[in-house]
Structure 1
Amino acid sequence: MTTQHVFDEAIALQPQGDGAFAGHTSPAYANMIGPFGGITAAQVLNAVLLHPDRLGEPVAMTVNFAGPVADGPFTIRPRAARTNRSTQHWTVELLQGDELLVTATVFTAARRETWKGHETQMPQVPRPQDTPVTPRHGVEWLQRYEMRFLEGPIPSKWDGTVRDDSLTRLWVRDQPPRPLDYASLTGLADVFFPRIWLRRAKFVPIGTVSMTVYYHADAAHLAAAGTGHLLIQAQGQGFGGGYFDHAGQLWDEQGTLLATTHQVVYYKE
């Protein structure tokens, strides 16, 4: 008997007669309040991936967290806003009852063979096999990922120490290991803890407002990554007025740039 991976259970959606999908939050990906944002983003993307009218593969997605998702059932409504010869633009909404909680745009396209050359290169770091697993404590979703921190772990003391930067770098993969695809890559793009915590070593309330992922690899490249680790890094850019942003990159073990990501996060003093 084959047991379904906990990630696949969490993103499972049931098609409804009106083009919408029904889903349910997963206790395995619980955060301090509501679900881990990365799993919500993966659920939203999965609604597009499962849609019978989808054209091509994901190239970009932006998810806006308009309100907190409560534990329980939800409905996702994807709509192809425009379809061209080789590109497609989607709008997606996640609702609980009549309350709109998440909005998103997804851009898909039929990829073509072209010249390519990434300027963002993977840094030279110890291999995952030479990097010890970092113990994970706290909220449930952290147990769903194997993390091997190289730089910038979550502060061990909340003493207000101010760092010059907020760079975090680590090897990570699903736990238990799972073959990489667009949905799991989306979740992995959100495993970074808030940059404000690292920059100031102060545990302040936060909430992601908007998350964007740009997918630089096609499905074949993701399949080739298999169950291997990804090297991921993120660094804050601007802090102030109650908001900060960060930019992040994700590479496979061979150094292929798979995705880049940006987030805007609210924080409270």
Structure 2
Amino acid sequence: MSTHPFDLAVALQPAGDDLWRGHTSPAYANMVGPFGGVSAAQALSAVLRHPARLGDPVALTVNFASALADGPFDVVARPARTNRSTQHWVLDVRQDGQTVLTGTAFTALRRETWGRDEHAMPVVPPASEVAPATGPRRVEWVNRYEMRFIEGGIPDQWDGREQGASITRLWLRDAPPRPLDFASLAALSDVFFPRIWRRRALLVPIGTVSLTVYFHADAAGLARAGTGHLLGQAQAQAFRSGYFDQTAQLWSEAGELLATTHQVVYYKE
């Protein structure tokens, strides 16, 4: 059994039909509850472990109804409909009989077709030429990832000044390095810090409400990425009335677009 912190965090035990039991991980602790990316990965892990699963993940959406408390939780992963080559899943994460996360997943048997990436990887220095991020780390989960910021890092001064844009580009991967799979890619899709902190340099309270990940790579594409760095790029679209959205893209070192993600985040002033 792997002793990597991520594998320990997403480990689930079967507890009945469509039911799995897990436990929050102190290695991925956030300011309130666990890191949302690992919660999404735990929900997806129930699908990946399900004996009735057809194909590999194409899309995952999770909605954070409440922060998970430290301790055990149950994941219900139910195949709502199975077609010849596609499958639709309903997800429900519960603690003490209450739903804390809802979601859906879509898996499919992929086939060879014509394909192109329209969103090309930006031209940036290789990871070996970008220094790892240093400085204080306010929450534990950040220590589980190697981050090398190319532009748009965490503000040096929290003075509330508005920045020109919310874009961030960085090289990132699990720490220690770990072969990429669908669960870890789902978690990596949530590594980007909230765009409002970049745009305003003000540490306002935030909370992700809904996160969607689209997996463009198949299992072979993830194997090609291996333990290498991924290039991540994130930017917001609009900040308004207490909510903002941000999109992100993740490329392998070879320039293959592996996943895109979109999330809606609550903020308070």
TM tier relative to shorter chain: over 0.9
On the 8 A contact 2:236/2:244 being kept in 1, the answer is: yes
1:91: Cα distance to partner? Answer: 0.3
1:161: Cα distance to partner? Answer: 1.0
1:101 partner SS: strand
1:26 maps to which residue?
Answer: 25
- Separation in structure 2 between the aligned mates of residue 17 and residue 114 of structure 1, nearest angstrom: 38
1:18: Cα distance to partner? Answer: 2.7
Instruction: Figure out how many residues of one structure are paired with residues of the other and give that number.
Output: 268
1:19: Cα distance to partner? Answer: 2.4
Are 2:102 and 1:103 aligned? yes
Amino acid at match of 2:178: R
2:141 partner SS: helix
What TM-score results when the alignment is normalised by the length of structure 1?
0.98
Where in structure 1 do 4 or more consecutive aligned residues deviate above 2 Å? none
- Separation in structure 1 between the aligned mates of residue 124 and residue 161 of structure 2, nearest angstrom: 26
1:49 maps to which residue?
Answer: 48
1:113 maps to which residue?
Answer: 112
1:225: Cα distance to partner? Answer: 0.7
Amino acid at match of 1:125: V
1:40 maps to which residue?
Answer: 39
1:3: Cα distance to partner? Answer: 5.2
Are 2:144 and 1:151 aligned? no
2:87 partner SS: strand
1:114: Cα distance to partner? Answer: 0.2
On the 8 A contact 2:209/2:265 being kept in 1, the answer is: yes
1:196 maps to which residue?
Answer: 196
- Separation in structure 1 between the aligned mates of residue 32 and residue 240 of structure 2, nearest angstrom: 24
On the 8 A contact 2:61/2:105 being kept in 1, the answer is: yes
- Separation in structure 1 between the aligned mates of residue 226 and residue 67 of structure 2, nearest angstrom: 33
On the 8 A contact 2:41/2:186 being kept in 1, the answer is: yes
Amino acid at match of 2:63: N
Gapped runs of 5+ residues in structure 1?
A: none
Gapped runs of 5+ residues in structure 2?
A: none
Amino acid at match of 1:106: A
2:138 maps to which residue?
Answer: 138
On the 8 A contact 2:2/2:8 being kept in 1, the answer is: no
Structure 2 CA distance for partners of 1:20 and 1:214, relative to 1, 3 Å: same
